[in-house]
Amino acid sequence: MTAASGEALDPTLRELLAEDVGAGDVTTEWTVPENVRASGRLISRSPCVVSGLPVARRTFTLLEPRLEWWDEASAGSTAAAGDALAKLAGRARPLLTAERVALNLLQRMCGIATATRRYVEAVRGTGCQIFDTRKTAPGLRVFDRQAVADGGGSNHRAGLFDQVLVKDNHRRLAGGVAAAVRAARRRAPEAMAIEVEVETEEELREALASGADIVLIDNQTPDTVRRWSAIARQARRPPRIEASGNVTLESVRAYAEAGADRVSVGSLTHSVAAADIALELAFESA
C-alpha cells in the first residue's frame, strides 16, 4: 500500500486545490493584507480516530512552502472533542486558501478511520479482519485506503490490476466458476490470489473444486456463512473465507463468529460520515 503522504500525492492535491481556487481566492486576496502571518491549530470538534495529518500538511505546504507544522496527534490515535491535532504557522493568505481542501481530506480520512475502528472493535477476539472495498470516491482511493489502515482495518485489492476477483458477471460471461478460474490461473502470476464470489452452494462447491484461494460469500446470512464455511474447511486446499454484502456494525460480529476470516465493508468508504474538524487561526503582523 502506498502511504498517503509525500510528494507522490502532489498531482492529486494540486488538482483538488485548482478545483477550489480557480482564478483566485477573491475573499482572502481582497480582505487579508499580503504581509500578515497566521498561526493556529487544527481542532477536533468531535471524537475521532486520527488519520490524514500528513495529507493536510502537504496540502498547506503546496501553497505555503515555508509552513511551520507540529503534530499534536499520531495516526490511529483517538482524539476527544476539543483536542488539538496539529499546530501550524505561515503566511495567512495561503493558509486560508488551502484550508477547505486540507480540512475536507482530513475530515474524510478521520471519519473513515473512526468507522473502521468501530468495526475492528466489534470483531475483537474472533481473529476476523475488517477489509475495505473498491467502493471509494474516484480520485480519493489512496486517501481512503490509508484511513482504513489507520483505523486498524486491512486493504483489499488496490484496483483491477493486483488481484483476480471473479464476480457474478465474470462467472456468467466466462462460462461458469471453473472456466473463469482456469482462465485466470493460466495468466496470473504465482503469487497473485484468485478470489471467487459465490451466491449459491453450487457455486461454492465449484469454487472449491477449482482451487480458489479466497471465497467471497456475498449477501448471505451468518447462518449460511457458518454452513458454507464448514464445507469450505473440508476442501483439499481450504480457502480463506470472506463475507460481504450489507454487513452492518450490529451484524459484523455474527459473521466473524460464523467462520469468516475477513469481512469486507463497503460503507467504510462509500458512506463516509466526516469528522468535525476546524482550523482556528490567529493573525500576527510579519
Instruction: Give the closest residue to 279 by CA, choosing from 14, 69, 118, 125.
Output: 69
Q: What angle do CA 196, 262, 188 make, to 5 degrees?
A: 35
Instruction: Give the closest residue to 255 by CA, choosing from 271, 266, 244.
Output: 244
Instruction: Find where cell 493573525 sits.
Output: 283
Instruction: Give the closest residue to 177 by CA, choosing from 142, 208, 223.
Output: 208
CB proximity list for 61: less than 8 A, separation 6 or greater: 67, 69
Phi, psi dihedral angles at 154 (to 5 degrees): -120, 155
CB proximity list for 249: less than 8 A, separation 6 or greater: 118, 119, 122
Catalytic residues: 100, 135, 167, 197, 218
What is the spatial distance between Cα 117 and Cα 60, in angstroms, rounded to a whole number? 27
